[in-house]
Amino acid sequence: MYDVAIIGCGVIGSSIAYRLSRFNLKTVVLEKENDVAMGATRANSAIIHAGYDPAEGTLMAKLNVRSVELTKDLCQKLSVPYAQIGSLVLAFSDEESAHVQRLYERGIANGVPGLKVLTYAETKAIEPNIADNVTCALYAPTAAVINPWEYALALAEVAVVNGVELRLEAAVEAISKTDNGYVITAGGKTIETKYIINAAGTEAGMIHDMALPHTFDILPNKGEYYLLDKSEGTRTNHVVFQCPSKVGKGVLVSPTVHGNLIVGPNAVDCEAGDTSTSAEDLAFVRSMAVKSIPSIDFRQNIRNFAGVRPNSTVDDFIIKAHDGFFDVAGIKSPGLASAAGIAEYVENLMQDNGVVLAEKAEYTDTREQPRFKEMTHEERAAIVAENPLFGRVICRCETITEGEIIDAIHRPIIPRTVDAIKRRCCAGMGRCQGGFCGPRVVEILARELGCSRQDIDKDKTGSYIVRKRED
């Protein structure tokens, strides 16, 4: 019998698992994919929003603003890449200038620190590549960029170290109520638990309906992106947003925490799990982006991708308790930016609902991650002398060593795919997109996991890479 079963191991499930792992609870996380952070968490704008966007009085506003500091602190504790670069919302007309003013006022009401409305000249001074027809901009110094999948992974990893059980490829098939909790069938196995936390992202509506009467729908909505080479990574200094308009929310242009440039997203209703891109949508993203930053060189694109937002029929996050079943659903934008606050809120909600949270005598809340590229010359020399595997660079574009890859493979959540390695240590994330290091990562994975190279998948289970010649 488990105390808590968390369904879904994206950034929300892992944030909650991290917090709950401090307590004397028997907790299991059920994830349908073969790794953590496989849904919205792996494909989004990777931004910790400052919190001026959500309407006053909503959970979204409260938890977003609350999370800004929490996230910064967590990233430091967990060795997760984070950079507080600030954001700008550009206005291009009087109407949009008025919108920027409204955002400013809303931000003040939401308690966002440091907001300023800048003139064109002031904006140009700190963001030189903006278009000439910008009228003014809202500056939010607390906005940040992070690595979202590493954030979720780090949280989940610490939770596992503290004793939380993570079951991968355990899609929930059925839930039934018992006298003192629930029975869940997941991945062909049955477990009993006192409490359920539904953090299933785009599937959260379906999970809710397995246990409780229908109250909301998840409306999956896709956003498509360009990711440009690091040679374009200094095109902007801040996260550069646009005002929402008739044609959509506007696309952003921003450096990523890794030093690339990200451009997107659009917003298109879709099926859950549909992360395809289309030529028309990408053309739209491009045309919108150059309104803000006309000089973006799209020839430096290294990857297009799409992520699916778990939008819902409710205008706010859905965080509610019903008889030991806790919905944490409809976590749309600013979901990543609110994750830390959401987990804190859920913890309090559980306590309010009679869940006994007794702190363990010992637990950890930190994690280290070696990053060869970020080391000084002296640190590099020292680590190679200590472990010669750090002397062999596997991913040339991102300067990722064999030492880092082996370290990732032997961590508490074992990566079994080439993309899982990419999410853990950035091998294959660069300009050649794994053209050079892909075969070597396959070889290292097969060697360390004791399987053959044909058994290594690229991403989801079944996404095999190579076959034997004689097959």
Partner 1 sequence: MYDLAVIGGGPAGLAAAYSAYEKGLRNIVILERDKELGGILNQCIHNGFGLHRFKEELSGPEYAHRYIEMVQDTSVEVKLDTMVIEITPDKKIFINSPSGYECIEAKSIVLSMGCRERTRGAISIPGTRPSGVFTAGAAQRYLNMEGLMAGKRVVILGSGDIGLIMARRMTLEGAKVLACVEVMPYSGGLTRNIVQCLNDFDIPLYLSHTVTDIRGDKRLEGLTVMKVDENRRPIPGTEMEFDCDTLLLSVGLIPENELTRGAGIEMDPRTNGAYVFENMETSIEGVFACGNVVHVHDLVDFVSDESARAGAAAAEYVQNGAVKGDVIRLQNGADVGYTVPQKIHRDTKADKIDIFFRVRSVFGKSQVIVSAGDTEIQVFKRPYMAPGEMQHIVIAADKLKGYDTITVTAKEA
Measured distance CA(326)–CA(346) in Å, rounded = 8
Assess 433 for contact with partner 1 (CB under 8 A).
Answer: yes
Measured distance CA(19)–CA(14) in Å, rounded = 9
* Residues binding partner 1: number (CB under 8 A): 58
Provide the annotated active-site residues.
Answer: 49
Residue closer to partner 1 (CB basis): 131 or 384: 384
For residue 265, whether the previous peptide bond is cis, meaning omega lies within 30 degrees of 0, is: yes
Assess 33 for contact with partner 1 (CB under 8 A).
Answer: no
Q: Which of 277, 322, 349, 357 binds partner 1 (CB under 8 A)?
A: 277
Q: Which of 307, 334, 415, 438 binds partner 1 (CB under 8 A)?
A: 438
Contact criterion met (CB below 8 Å) for 182 and 192? yes
Token readout for 229 is 């080479």
- x/- track of binding to partner 1 for residues 227-246 (CB under 8 A): x-------------------
Residue closer to partner 1 (CB basis): 321 or 389: 389
Residue closer to partner 1 (CB basis): 303 or 371: 303
Assess 226 for contact with partner 1 (CB under 8 A).
Answer: yes
Token readout for 183 is 């029975």
Assess 376 for contact with partner 1 (CB under 8 A).
Answer: no
Assess 171 for contact with partner 1 (CB under 8 A).
Answer: no
Assess 120 for contact with partner 1 (CB under 8 A).
Answer: no
Assess 214 for contact with partner 1 (CB under 8 A).
Answer: no
Is residue 219 classed exposed, middle or buried when 0-12, 13-18 and 19+ CB atoms within 10 A define those classes?
A: middle
Assess 276 for contact with partner 1 (CB under 8 A).
Answer: yes
Q: Which of 167, 249, 291, 303 binds partner 1 (CB under 8 A)?
A: 303
Residue closer to partner 1 (CB basis): 121 or 376: 376
Measured distance CA(330)–CA(319) in Å, rounded = 9
b/e per residue, 133-165, with b = 16+ CB within 10 A? ebbbbbbbbbbbbbbbbbbbbbbbbbbbbbebe
Residue closer to partner 1 (CB basis): 238 or 422: 422
Residue closer to partner 1 (CB basis): 136 or 263: 263
**How do strand 218-228 and strand 189-198 relate by DSSP bridges?**
unpaired
Assess 205 for contact with partner 1 (CB under 8 A).
Answer: no
Assess 370 for contact with partner 1 (CB under 8 A).
Answer: no
φ, ψ for residue 103, nearest 5 deg: -60, -40
Assess 439 for contact with partner 1 (CB under 8 A).
Answer: yes
Residue closer to partner 1 (CB basis): 368 or 471: 471
Cα angle for residues 307, 309, 313 (degrees, 5° grid): 160
Assess 284 for contact with partner 1 (CB under 8 A).
Answer: no
Contact criterion met (CB below 8 Å) for 326 and 196? yes
Dmax (CA) of the chain: 68
Assess 381 for contact with partner 1 (CB under 8 A).
Answer: yes
Assess 290 for contact with partner 1 (CB under 8 A).
Answer: no
Assess 26 for contact with partner 1 (CB under 8 A).
Answer: no
Minimum distance, C-beta of residue 284 to partner 1, in the bound complex (Å)? 12
Measured distance CA(417)–CA(35) in Å, rounded = 9
Assess 393 for contact with partner 1 (CB under 8 A).
Answer: yes
Assess 368 for contact with partner 1 (CB under 8 A).
Answer: no
Helices 402-409 & 437-449 angle (0-180, nearest 10): 40
Q: DSSP letter string over 299-357?
A: GGEEEEEEEEEEEESSSS-EEEEETTEEEEE---SSHHHHHHHHHHHHHHHHHHTT---
Specify the residue for token string 């997941």.
186
Residue closer to partner 1 (CB basis): 186 or 227: 227
Assess 41 for contact with partner 1 (CB under 8 A).
Answer: no
Q: Which of 2, 23, 305, 325 binds partner 1 (CB under 8 A)?
A: 305
Assess 278 for contact with partner 1 (CB under 8 A).
Answer: yes
Specify the residue for token string 């899982």.
420
Is residue 125 classed exposed, middle or buried when 0-12, 13-18 and 19+ CB atoms within 10 A define those classes?
A: exposed
Q: Which of 109, 385, 414, 451 binds partner 1 (CB under 8 A)?
A: 385
Nearest to 306 by CA among 280, 279, 274, 353: 274
Span interacting with partner 1, options 73-81, 154-162, 336-344, 393-401, rule CB under 8 A: 393-401
Contact criterion met (CB below 8 Å) for 48 and 186? no
Residue closer to partner 1 (CB basis): 139 or 305: 305
Minimum distance, C-beta of residue 245 to partner 1, in the bound complex (Å)? 24
Q: Which of 176, 178, 353, 463 binds partner 1 (CB under 8 A)?
A: 463
Q: Which residues bind partner 1 (CB under 8 A)?
A: 226-227, 273, 275-279, 281-282, 298-299, 301-305, 377, 380-381, 383-385, 388-393, 396-397, 399, 401, 431-436, 438-439, 443, 453-454, 457-469, 471
